[in-house]
Structure 1
Amino acid sequence: MTIQALVFDVYGTLFDVHSVKEQAEALYPDHGEAISKRWREKQLEYSFLRQLNGQYVPFSQVTQDALRYTLLELKLHVTEEQITTLMETYLTLDVYPEVSSVLETMADKRLVVFSNGSHDMLDPLIEQSGLADRFEHLVSVDDIKQYKPAPASYMHALNTLGLKREEILFMSSNGWDITGAKSFGFKTAWINRNGLPVEELNLDPDRIYDDLTGITEWQ
């Protein structure tokens, strides 16, 4: 069946979450990379735990809690000003260099963002990037308070589009997100920016690309 819509994850797929390390390095010399790496790990861990525990809070709160934990774990001094400054970097993450041209090439498809990010994080990020007018919808799991990879989250994206599952190509750089979308019934393209192995869950992606340029074959 022909692909009608391209659905993009945001963090790590369209935007580089580790672009926060420059500001982290400025605030905490020699710790920028460690902060960036651990912050992302805890951000994902907390979203998974909250989903499993039925204790949903918006992704902005998850992200802030993960940051505070990271700084404490690394035994760094924590002030509210530093927390605020680092949280603001999530509103201006670097967009990957190929994104704009790929979106232009694929403009004949319905283009949608689908993210765990809450709208207070997601909307300003997309707007400042200059990409907002490329997308038909900015879909957030915050609308239903069910984090990916819960099936209900992908159902929310499906209902928003009003298509059949097999008419949707879902793209993410996160292997866990690809497995969730594949299990739900979407076509999947893993944007494997870090050259990682496929997850051992018997839910292999339909395509694997080094970056988003590869999806242009779905025209």
Structure 2
Amino acid sequence: MTIRIAVFDAYGTLFDVAAAARRAAAEPGGAALAEHWQSLAAIWRDKQVQYTWHRAITGAHTDFWQVTCDSLDYALEATGLLGNAALRDRLLALYRELDAYPEVPEMLARLREAGMQTAILSNGAPGMLADAVNSAGIGDSLDAVLSVEEVGVFKPDARVYDLVGKHFPGDRAEVLFVSSNGWDAAGASGYGFTTAWVNRMGLPMERLPWTPQHVLADLTPIPDLATGT
């Protein structure tokens, strides 16, 4: 079936979630973070994902900004940096202007040139997503930025994936859903989307009921994959 719409997860897929810690460590006054930034970034991200799953399962929803703050506090304590208020504030500020991966602007531009509709579907809160999109300068390359806050539950709940059909009516298989999270790509595959897992770290395939149809090292092949060229 022909792909009409390319839908992207945001954090870790379009935006480099390690960028906030990396940039803060390189700034003047970042010496306390310099030897810990990689560990902090990894723990921060792991806890973000874990907390969204817990809140989705228990029904204790809050927005992703609160989850981001909570998971950062855990990561700061785990790396011995809890109590450094200035560092915490700086990391949170940088998270709202994460670097896009270098191939993102050209990849999105090629999709648009091919007449493809494009969107973000993210756990992110609307304000967070707006800041990230604006900072990366990719707003003109997107038809929609969809947040789970429309339904009040995190991925991989099917109500999140339903948002795509509400904004872009059509067959689910006409949607190419792209995520750097193996569990997200698996959930979207089970939902009926055509899926691509961007496996930048060369991780093993998740042992889940569904698997993505495509596995990529980065986003560069997405336009050819979407258009069948």
User: Which TM-score band applies after superposition, normalised by the shorter structure?
Assistant: over 0.9
Deviation at 1:80, TM superposition (A): 3.6
Instruction: Kindly report the root-mean-square deviation, in angstroms, between the aligned alpha carbons of the 2 structures.
Output: 1.3
Match of 1:181? 188
Q: Which of 68, 71, 75 pairs up with 2:76? A: 71
What is the total number of aligned residue pairs between the two structures? 219
1:52 aligns with 2:57: yes
Match of 1:157? 164
Q: Which of 151, 155, 158 pairs up with 1:148? A: 155
Match of 2:20? 20
Question: Are the aligned partners of 2:21 and 2:40 in contact in 1 as well (CA < 8 Å)?
Answer: yes
Deviation at 1:81, TM superposition (A): 3.2
Q: Percent identity?
A: 37
Deviation at 1:216, TM superposition (A): 2.0
Deviation at 1:24, TM superposition (A): 4.4
The answer to which of 133-142 and 86-95 deviates more is 86-95
1:197 aligns with 2:204: yes
Flag structure 2 segments of 5+ consecutive residues without an equivalent: none
TM-score by length of 2: 0.91
1:4 aligns with 2:11: no
Deviation at 1:82, TM superposition (A): 2.6
Question: Are the aligned partners of 2:119 and 2:144 in contact in 1 as well (CA < 8 Å)?
Answer: yes
Question: Are the aligned partners of 1:68 and 1:78 in contact in 2 as well (CA < 8 Å)?
Answer: no
Match of 2:105? 100
Match of 2:176? 169
Flag structure 1 segments of 5+ consecutive residues without an equivalent: none
Q: Which of 76, 79, 88 pairs up with 1:83? A: 88
Deviation at 1:149, TM superposition (A): 0.7
Deviation at 1:142, TM superposition (A): 1.1
Q: Which of 37, 40, 52 pairs up with 2:42? A: 37
